[in-house]
Amino acid sequence: MSHSIPLTKESYEALQEELKRLIRVERPKVIQDIAEARSHGDLSENAEYEAAKNRQGFIEGRIQEINGKLARAHVVDLSGLTPDKVVFGATVTLYDTALEEEVVYRIVGEDEAEIKAGKISCTSPVGKALIGHRLDDTVRVNVPAGIKEYEIIDIKYN
């Protein structure tokens, strides 16, 4: 599991902020909650203690997960590049030939993908198919619903 994880600058910074919040705010709070629950007596029948311990386990697990991602992160910086082809981090405007409408996607890492926000994973069928193509290319993608055909009408590097 030593492979690098591509991340946009925004995602990298969001992970750093989440890590800071977990370490500086959430961890001390849950430690305080555990101490308070212990003061209530018998731990075997103490639901507050059990809930706080579960929360502590979640927080510590998330801290480890984020630290691992940040250690393997490869932040893709597109500044200074000419947007002449689709790459990780690019925002692509496509013309869906079947639906006769435009769609806009940003190619992001797996953890960042959120289709409703127009962010698709670089490992998704559409993301994989688009990478490396240029403006005005027609891209055919095999998706679960069948074959989709897109024309690339704009590429931006944000």
pTM over 0.75: yes
∠ CA(21), CA(25), CA(30), 5° rounding?
Answer: 125
Q: Is residue 19 part of a domain?
A: yes
Q: Is residue 59 part of a domain?
A: yes
Mean pLDDT of 81-100: 90
Structurally, the chain folds into a number of domains equal to 2
Q: Is residue 110 part of a domain?
A: yes
Domain boundary, last residue among 75, 102, 124: 75
Question: Domain containing 145 — which CATH number?
Answer: 3.10.50.30
CA distance 124 to 15: 22
Q: Contact, 146 vs 137, CB < 8 A?
A: no
Q: Does 29 have pLDDT greater than 50?
A: yes
Burial of residue 6 (number of CB atoms within 10 Å: 0-12, 13-18, 19+): buried
Q: Is residue 81 part of a domain?
A: no
* Same domain (yes/no): 49, 107: no
| Domain ranges, residue 97 | 90-157
Q: Is residue 152 part of a domain?
A: yes
Per-residue pLDDT tens over the stretch 103-144: 999 999 888 899 999 999 999 999 999 999 999 999 999 988
Handedness of CA 129, 68, 21, 40 (dihedral sign): positive
Q: What percentage of the chain reaches a pLDDT higher than 70?
A: 97
* Same domain (yes/no): 107, 134: yes
Q: How high is the pLDDT of residue 1? A: 47
Mean pLDDT of 80-102: 90
